[in-house]
Amino acid sequence: MNISIAVETVGGLSAPSKMVVPSTGFNTDTCMKGSKLKLIKGSVCEGCYADKGFAKVFDKNVRPARHRRLEAIKDKAWVSSWIYIIKNKKVFKDEKVFRWQDSGDLQSKEHLDNIIAVATATPDVIHWLPTKESNLAKSLGGVYPSNLIIRLSGSMVDGKAPNFKHTSTVTTDITKVNCFASLPATDSRWHEGCGECRNCWDSSIQDIAYYKH
């Protein structure tokens, strides 16, 4: 295997502007829960960030790319390809963190199991998996690699965090925010992108609160 083949096998990499490493993601209309939450006023998926900005401007390119990544999860070489990519220093530049799903969400138990397989094979990397698929996340019974931080996302803005080990919420209360990249630029704590912040990957932080924007 080489890096070109591995990247092609997983459907290509995404390049989220705030992240320190490449990621992957699907179109948001493939989200099982999220596609329904989009229609609910006050939900965290209403006006989804993944459908705005760059993604909206370059929709003709972004949607096909996300669709390729969705189709790629069916490939038997998907797991081994991701392991190869994450271990490749030229791609990851010695970073020890990775984010799954910069858009879209888990598709099945098999998809989740395959992500777990990748995390297991790359123990020196901390994997962050945000998801709203509570049934899939809870089906693990809390048993998954310690380097995989699954953050179960709350459904409503200013709502309670889900009952799970690690969570994320969206708030309009700026004092509760601990994702500083989500803050308005006028806030003294704001910084552009993740930078040196690793809160989302930090297992000691139970909930990550994003500012509603």
Q: State the maximum Cα–Cα separation within the chain, in Å, rounded to a whole number.
A: 48
| 157 vs 48: CA distance, rounded Å | 12
pLDDT of 52 reads: 61
| 118 vs 121: CA distance, rounded Å | 5
The pTM of the full predicted model, rounded to 2 decimals, is 0.93
| 178 vs 176: CA distance, rounded Å | 7
Q: How far is CA 183 from the centre of its chain?
A: 19
Counting as low any pLDDT under 70, the low residues of the chain are 49-59
Q: Which two tokens stand for residue 73?
A: 């999860």
Strands across the sheet containing 148-153:
97-99, 126-131, 148-153, 167-171, 207-211
What are the start-end ranges of the H helices in the chain? 3-9, 34-37, 54-57, 59-72, 78-87, 89-92, 109-121, 134-138
Kindly report the length of the chain: 213
Residue 28: how many other CB atoms lie within 10 Å: 19
**Residue pLDDT, tens place only, 33-91:** 999 999 999 999 997 866 665 445 456 788 899 999 999 999 999 999 999 999 998 88
